Structure 1
């Protein structure tokens, strides 16, 4: 038997997970600056299987506009370069001995606007996820009331609580989107 408190806590835990998933998605949206997380989506052919770049090389920053990729095995350089070039990130890596440098090309104004739209879209999707979690939690509480395991007053209170939690997470999403847009538009 679940209680109103358990329903609320489960909803909040799921909202926290959704927020962290949203933050991970935001990191992958390119800004003018270099970030090692940008290459998280790149997978490299490693002895016949596709593995994340971070499992075959050390990814770090040289400066604000250049990512360095240091393969752990000698023969992996060319494969890593190819994987980065073929990713949809629009990057052009350059090999310097064992080290691969990935310079970040400056973004055009048009590209920056596309990226801010992408950030807004991700934000909207995250908000929809929060609202769905709110709806699910409220339906769980309504079921308790219907089954006579909670009063209607409890239902009203819990719906208000769940709404406060939802509002808090949606405000956090808005804050992250605004910060990301500022980051993208900064030249």
Structure 2
């Protein structure tokens, strides 16, 4: 019986951690005005007939806060890299100097910052929904398990405390991202 309760709690905790991990991954893609190599994580380049992630055919660096440089492993890939960046629809205008591709990251307007903050909030809400769904699943498993009423209540309270803790963590992650986005 105790093993079953622990299994339910552990699986709920694991699922909630996955929601947090997913949120962090999604928030990395929301740029806050500073150049970051992960901004190009969604860019795919045609390499010998196969669509390949940009980071597998080149080095992506940030020489300063507003510039990304992409150094391809093969110079013949420069045109394909530029095409891949344009096709990714990230709002960047790549330029090449014959050896590498250079992207100047434009500063964000106030309107764009608000838009990005809303996008971050939507991602945080999705994570909260995921955590609440994990709570519901755990609660249903507790009800299915043939437990004494007091043990069932205690376990449900533990699951609720876990849920509250993860929701609070999501709020903290969102608040930090919002601050980063809105800082000029």
Structure 1 gaps, min length 5:
none
Structure 2, unaligned runs of 5 or more:
none
Structure 2 counterpart of 1:174:
171
Tell me by how many angstroms 1:39 deviates: 0.6
In structure 2, what is the Cα distance between the partners aligned to 1:129 and 1:74? 44
- Equivalent-residue separation in structure 1 for 2:98 and 2:166 (angstroms): 47
Matched residue pairs, number?
183
Separation (CA, whole Å) in 1 of partners of 2:86 and 2:183: 25
Backbone CA RMSD of aligned residues: 1.3
- The aligned counterpart of 2:83 is 82
Partner residue in 1 for 2:137: 136
2:147 is the alignment partner of 1:156: no
Deviation at 1:86, TM superposition (A): 2.3
Normalization by structure 1: what TM-score? 0.94
Decide which moves more: 117-126 or 156-165.
Answer: 156-165
Provide the rounded CA distance (Å) in 2 between the counterparts of 1:38 and 1:56: 16
- TM-score w.r.t. the length of structure 2 is 0.95
Quote the residue 1:18 is aligned against: 19
Q: Distance in 1 between matches of 2:28 and 2:175?
A: 14
1-side partners of 2:160 and 2:69: how far apart? Answer: 45
What is the alpha-carbon distance in structure 2 between the residues aligned to residue 174 and residue 181 of structure 1?
Answer: 10
Partner of residue 44, structure 2: 43
